[in-house]
Structure 1
Amino acid sequence: MEKLETRIRNHDREIEKMCNFHYQGFVDSITELLKVRGEAQKLKNQVTDTNRKLQHEGKELVIAMEELKQCRLQQRNISATVDKLMLCLPVLEMYSKLRDQMKTKRHYPALKTLEHLEHTYLPQVSHYRFCKVMVDNIPKLREEIKDVSMSDLKDFLESIRKHSDKIGETAMKQAQQQRNLDNIILQQPRIGSKRKPKKDAYTIFDTEIGSTSPKSEQDSGILDVEDEEDDEEVPGAQDLVDFSPVYRCLHIYSVLGARETFENYYRKQRRKQARLVLQPPSNMHETLDGYRKYFNQIVGFFVVEDHILHTTQGLVNRAYIDELWEMALSKTIAALRTHSSYCSDPNLVLDLKNLIVLFADTLQVYGFPVNQLFDMLLEIRDQYSETLLKKWSGIFRNILDSDNYSPIPVTSEEIYKKVVGQFPFQDTELEKQPFPKKFPFSEFVPKVYNQIKEFIYACLKFSEDLHLSSTEVDDMIRKSTNLLLTRTLSSSLQNVIKRKNIGLTELVQIIINTTHLEKSCKYLEEFITNITNVLPETVHTTKLYGTTTFKDARHAAEEEIYTNLNQKIDQFLQLADYDWMTGDLGNKASDYLVDLIAFLRSTFAVFTHLPGKVAQTACMSACKHLATSLMQLLLEAEVRQLTLGALQQFNLDVRECEQFARSGPVPGFQEDTLQLAFIDLRQDEGH
């Protein structure tokens, strides 16, 4: 410690020495410093004043510089913003374009725009929040496009379902026009050298096959077409249908990888529509329009499907179309069998046949097999024949009921030629006779003959356009005509003959009429031959049974005459009032017998136009019945004994009968032949 203190004292002395040595300099420095302080204060005041002035003068400049700084900052921000906007603007424009396309229902272009937006534009600006929103919204937009396009497809399917009738009507009109054109060309082969080419079923719609883009940007579905006048060209089906919704939806689903889903949905919906189309209305059989609408809907359905088949790649295939057609064919045939069976009007059946032929021809143009439809028409042909027979049954009944059963009077050459023109009749003697004169037959002969020809024409009409050979047509007509003769006409004649109030005059006229109708059968054969061009000598040609029909009717009339005569004789005999115990000797025949003989004479006088054997048989039958009846009167159980007067009276009556027989009421009997009818009565009387 002592050393330390010593050392400190040493240092203090050194410091003191040093200070003493420099003290004068220190004093001088202080003096100088004091001088400098005053100057410094002046300088400070000057600087302060200068600074104040500078601050005052530079204040506006500072403000301007601050404003310039802010402007430069804004300029940099704007430039950066413009650069960023220029980068984002294509994205926004594409998005706006996408929205516009969706708004205008241009779904397929919208889907393409969405793809460009997703893969090209959005990756460049992916760090912005709005881009993330867009990216998150893309699946929703795709689903929206998918849903909207499906909605358009549903609208299209619904519209197609409602307008199938119009589409089918148009297609069938085109087929009818083509058939008419073909018929004109067949009738005028020279004029028809410049034949209008027939439209191919595949090009009936004016669209490209196998296109990969939508056909149109309009979703109109079915376009409105006003009804055309008959003499104007029928609009093509392509003028009625816009298939763009189908194409767009197919493309959209294909791009989205859901083509199979779309195909399954489309086919399922069309199958449902097919079942609805094939369900006929319950009252379809009442009018031809009911059948026409039914056929139009079916044709419209398959015209659409055929077009879809040939304008898309795999949306529908041939197997699918064939399956639908097989179902349609079976259901259509079943419906036609059911509803046509209710039809009793032959004109409606004929119109239906023509409609079915047009229906089949229309679908055949599109490549659908229609042989089963023509086979079914052969079934309807039998039904048509039955309806014709029913109709002609009424016609024959009216003709026979309205006939006066009197020979047709002719007062002029014009009337004579008219009758001969209606019925094949030749009689040289009648032609030579002066007017007025009479045909031997009544009016029902030419009427029945002409109605048979009308029936043949009606049968021929049904056979047209059935693709039958001449032999088949001839066979059909002959078989139907035979049914008309053997069943319908025969039944009508039999009903007339069996009527209770029919008289002998009518029966005689029926025999005469049927005789002439029988002779006309060969002309009916010729008539059928002329319209079918099939010779009667052809193998398997059916012969007409008209001869048998008229012979049977004539025989029935003859039997009815015999029966009628016998009944008349019985009525007269009921007036016989013999007094077997009388004592008076008479000198003349009984009044009832005189009246009976007078009746027989007048009756047999009418038989002059009958075939000889018929008149002779009727006369012989009447005489035999009269003799038998008189015999029964004589041999009655109540007659126990006879007086001479009674026998005398009965003898006078028998003589009257014999006198009648000898007078030859009907020519053609050998001498005394007719009297043999009374020989047994004479012998019994003698006993």
Structure 2
Amino acid sequence: MLADTLQGYGFPVSQLFDMMLEMREQYGEILLKKWNLTFRQVLDQDNFSPIPVATEEEHRRFTSVFPFQDPELDKLPFPKKLPFSEFVPKVYSQLKEFIYACLKYYEDLHLSSTEIDDIIRKSTNLLLTRTLSSCLQHAIKKKNVGLAELVQVIINTTHLEASCVYLEEFISNITNVPTDTANATKLYGTSTFKDARHAAEEEIYTNLNAKIDQFLQLADYDWTAAQGGGAPSDYLSDLIAFLCSTFSVFTHLPGSAVEHARLPGKVAQTACMSACQHLSTSLVQLLLETDVRQVSMGALQQFNTDVKECERFARAGPVPGFQGDTLLLAFSDLRQLLDLFTQWDWSTYLADYGRPTCKYLRVNPQTALALLEKMKDTSRKNNMFAQFRKNERDKQKLIDTVVKQLRNLISAHQT
């Protein structure tokens, strides 16, 4: 270094060292900007697919760069796939390159090993929590990132989080300061990757709900139908097929052969429950839409057929790990509402309302009233309530009676 050479000739160099130390923040910012571009490029070029390895040599090429061990994967014959995409070993390599770049700047400034170790760790924390975190969040929010890619992001960040302990060891090895040194700065990589993973999870839930909304926009019910069809609506069948396919991808990525390639169980379960809850809530909203002014018993029968298809999907266990009928609970509000109307069981509802053991405990009286109001003025061509009406006047009188009782019930509980 120039300063050491000048010092050897007897020139004073203390001010030069002081200047170099004062410039370290500016140098650190330059490094962070450089690695920001590098990380963005790595993410833009990644295909978000598990890495295929055809030979032992290819396998070693990746595992020599990134610390990954899996005894179960080792037992499998080639060709096989590593669970993460190339983004993982590339990011890990760049983290180490950044640490080397920091070391080169500080190693000749006559600082102690402990000081150098602390500076490198703090700089690496900035790289992780500010630069890499921002790049990951940007990649997750991009419009062209689909559900399969988001699943891969979760798997990638899980492996990168596990590698943080190796980064800690790497810094200790090049600074000769043990990781368990008192007051040693700890890396924040775990929080960075957890935050990215949580962002990807939230994006999965949001994207799934958006897809469900797209299918629901295709719903085309004849709200004054005299009789319901015997089969589920086309839009609903397509929606269920999409959900089945999606959760198949979530629980086992195409072409992967090992458990590590699977989406963490709780994430898959939460995504499935979230999707079912959103579907159930959206179906209720569809039924109560202000544009839907009339609803016949025939329309409710068709709607009931569609809900039964949703319940069949929930019972089939699209994602492992749910106990009993836990997933089916997402449709319980809608199921009780439809049972109340299709069975016309108002005497039970009105008599038991408010009791913890009420058969229709999940039916809100205001929701029931809103739907019942839509059934008051249906066309004479419908055969609704044919089993208990003699004429249209009797039918309207019966509905009016229940409407009045519901209003009294609502008023009584509000006061």
Does 2:331 match 1:678? yes
Considering Cα pairs closer than 8 Å and 6+ residues apart, tell me whether 1 or 2 has the greater RCO: 2
* Counterpart amino acid of residue 437 in structure 1: K
**Which of 25, 39, 55 is the equivalent residue of 1:396?**
39
Aligned residue in 1 for 2:248? 605
Aligned to 2:311: 658
Q: Which of 297, 306, 321 pairs up with 1:644?
A: 297
Matched residue, 2:158: 515
Matched AA of 2:196: A
Q: Which aligned pairs between 1:164-175 and structure 2 lie closer than 5 A?
A: none
Q: Equivalent residues in 2 for 1:134-145 (5 A)?
A: none
TM-superposed deviation, 1:684: 1.6
State the distance in 1 between where 2:150 and 2:18 align.
Answer: 46
After superposition, the CA RMSD in angstroms is: 1.1
Return the match for 2:84 from 441, 451, 458.
441
1:581 to 224, 230, 238: 224
The CA deviation string for residues 645-669 of structure 1, in whole angstroms up to 9 with x for no partner, is 2111101110110001001111000
Of 562, 565, 570, 2:213 maps to 570
Match of 1:621 among 254, 264, 274: 274
Q: What residue identity is the alignment partner of 1:578? A: Y
- SS for the counterpart of 2:229 is coil
1:367-409 CA distances to partner (integer Å, 9 max, x unpaired)? 3332121111112222111111111111110110110000001
Q: Does 1:371 align with 2:19?
A: no
**Is 2:185 the partner of 1:542?**
yes
**Matching residue of 2:286:** 633
State which of 549, 553, 574 in structure 1 corresponds to 2:196.
553
Distance in 2 separating the partners of 1:375 and 1:595? 69
Q: CA deviation at 1:366?
A: 4.1
Local SS of the residue matching 2:215: helix
Question: Deviations along 1:135-158, whole A, 9 cap, x unmatched?
Answer: xxxxxxxxxxxxxxxxxxxxxxxx
Identify the residue that residue 271 of structure 1 maps to in structure 2. none
How high is the TM-score relative to the length of structure 2? 0.78
Whole-angstrom CA distance in 1 between matches of 2:51 and 2:322: 30
In the alignment, the residues of structure 2 paired with residue 412 and residue 430 of structure 1 have an alpha-carbon distance, to the nearest angstrom, of 13
Q: For residues 576 and 403 of structure 1, what CA distance do their matches in structure 2 show?
A: 37
Is 1:529 aligned to residue 182 of structure 2?
Answer: no
Q: Deviations over 1:178-199 (max 9, x none)?
A: xxxxxxxxxxxxxxxxxxxxxx
Return the alpha-carbon distance in structure 2 between the equivalents of residues 617 and 585 of structure 1: 33
Please give the alpha-carbon distance, in whole angstroms, between the structure 1 residues aligned to 2:89 and 2:9: 49
AA matched with 2:320: P
1:502, 1:392 → 2: CA distance? 22
1:494 shift after superposition: 0.1
Deviation at 1:464, TM superposition (A): 2.1
Distance 1:381 1:516 in 2: 32
1:283-316: CA deviations, max 9, x gaps? xxxxxxxxxxxxxxxxxxxxxxxxxxxxxxxxxx
1:445, 1:362 → 2: CA distance?
Answer: 42
**Structure 1 Cα separation of the partners of residues 19 and 240 of structure 2:** 64
Supply the distance in 1 between the matched residues of 2:25 and 2:248 (Cα, whole angstroms). Answer: 47
Match of 1:460 among 69, 88, 103: 103
Equivalent residue number for residue 474 of structure 1: 117
In the alignment, which residue of structure 1 is the partner of 2:52? 409
For residue 423 of structure 1, give the secondary structure of its aligned residue in structure 2: coil
Q: Matched residues in 1 for 2:242 and 2:301: separation?
A: 24
Q: Find the aligned partners of 1:365 and 1:432 in 2 and give their Cα distance.
A: 60
Q: Distance in 2 between matches of 1:615 and 1:477?
A: 38
Q: What per-residue deviation string (whole Å, max 9, x for no partner) do you get for residues 25-58 of structure 1?
A: xxxxxxxxxxxxxxxxxxxxxxxxxxxxxxxxxx
State the distance in 2 between where 1:513 and 1:401 align.
Answer: 15
**Shift in Å, 1:642:** 1.8
Tell me, in whole angstroms, the C-alpha distance in 2 between the residues paired with 1:570 and 1:448: 36
Which whole-Å CA distance do the structure 2 matches of 1:450 and 1:362 have between them? 34
Which residue of the partner structure matches residue 668 of structure 1? 321
Correspondence 1:27-106 to 2 at 5 A: none
Aligned amino acid, residue 654 of structure 1:
V
Deviant stretches of 4+, over 6 Å: none
SS at match of 1:547: helix
- Return the alpha-carbon distance in structure 1 between the equivalents of residues 202 and 109 of structure 2: 45
Give deviations 1:434-482, integer Å, cap 9, x for gaps.
1111111111000001110111111111112110110011011101110
Separation of aligned partners in 2, 1:546 and 1:627 = 39
Cα distance in structure 1, aligned partners of 2:8 and 2:65: 44
Aligned letter for 2:300?
A: L
**Number of corresponding residues:** 330
Calculate percent identity across the aligned residue pairs. 75
When structure 1 is superposed on structure 2, of 459-468 and 661-670 the one drifting more is 459-468
* 1:427 partner amino acid: D
SS at match of 1:438: strand
Question: Which amino acid in the other structure matches residue 618 of structure 1?
Answer: A
Question: In the aligned structure 2, how far is the partner of 1:378 from the partner of 1:562?
Answer: 47
Show structure 1 runs of 5+ residues with no match: 1-356
Equivalent in the alignment of 1:451:
94
Q: Distance in 1 between matches of 2:95 and 2:9?
A: 41
Q: In the TM superposition, what is the alpha-carbon distance from 1:615 to its structure 2 partner?
A: 0.5
Instruction: Supply the distance in 2 between the matched residues of 1:362 and 1:416 (Cα, whole angstroms).
Output: 46
CA separation in 2, counterparts of 1:363 and 1:576? 81
Question: Aligned AA for 1:634?
Answer: L
Supply the AA of the counterpart residue of 1:586: G
Question: Secondary structure at 2:224's aligned position in 1?
Answer: coil
Gaps of 5+ in 2: 252-261, 341-415
**Structure (1/2) with the larger helix percentage:** 1
Amino acid corresponding to residue 667 of structure 1 in structure 2: P
| Residue 393 of structure 2: aligned partner | none
CA distance, structure 1, for counterparts of residue 136 and residue 16 of structure 2? 38
Moved more, 612-621 or 598-607: 598-607
Amino acid at match of 1:407: P
